């Protein structure tokens, strides 16, 4: 079953609940994860919020909890739209040309200078897109 984790202490709560459901002691889990029992105890109690993501994920994996990340601000797609995009991706994997949007295929620049300009333009566009993605949404 999948449920969203919305509280800051949600990972610790999930770890504690899953560990208890599996009948694992803190000492047993600590030995399996190569961490101290104190780290697990303090993490579960919210006294150690600075546990590394790597350690938290290793502990969660050992108790059978997996995480699926998504952007909560993004609207969820409909199943038909996802299936259509997946079919297009599968076509591209098999070598079949598949346009994601109706557009004419671009022509390759003929000269070395034109190719260099095209690469520079593409690089500038990629940088602008990355900056836009990192900027806070309003």
Per-residue pLDDT, 9: 76
| pLDDT of 125 strictly over 70 | yes
Per-residue pLDDT, 121: 80
Cβ neighbours, 10 Å, residue 63: 19
Give pLDDT tens digits for 36-90.
999 999 999 888 878 888 888 889 889 988 876 665 555 556 778 778 777 777 7
The answer to whether 69 and 53 are in contact (CB under 8 A) is no
Q: What is the CA radius of gyration of the chain?
A: 23
Per-residue pLDDT, 31: 93
| pLDDT of 29 strictly over 70 | yes
Per-residue pLDDT, 112: 78
Confidence bin at 91 (pLDDT 50/70/90): low
The answer to whether 30 and 36 are in contact (CB under 8 A) is yes
| pLDDT of 110 strictly over 80 | no
DSSP of 34-71: TS-HHHHHHHHTTS-TT--HHHHHHHHHHTT-------
97/92: higher pLDDT? 92
Average pLDDT of span 108-121: 78
Give pLDDT tens digits for 5-15.
556 578 888 89
Confidence bin at 21 (pLDDT 50/70/90): very high
Domain 10-62 part of CATH 3.40.50.970: no
Domain assignments of the chain as residue spans, ordered by start: 10-62
């Amino acid at each position: 079953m999948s449920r969203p984790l919305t509280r800051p202490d949600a990972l610790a709560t999930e770890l504690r609940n899953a560990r208890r459901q599996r009948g694992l002691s803190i000492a047993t889990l600590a030995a399996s994860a190569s961490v101290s029992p104190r780290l697990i105890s303090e993490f579960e109690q919210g006294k150690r919020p600075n546990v590394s993501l790597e350690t938290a994920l290793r502990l969660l994996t050992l108790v059978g909890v997996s995480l699926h990340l998504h952007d909560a601000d993004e609207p969820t797609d409909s199943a038909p739209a996802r299936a259509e995009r997946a079919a297009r991706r599968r076509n591209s994997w098999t070598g079949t040309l598949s346009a994601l949007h109706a557009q004419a295929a671009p022509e390759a620049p003929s000269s070395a200078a034109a190719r260099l300009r095209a690469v520079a333009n593409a690089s500038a566009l990629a940088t602008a897109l990355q900056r836009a993605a990192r900027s806070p949404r309003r």
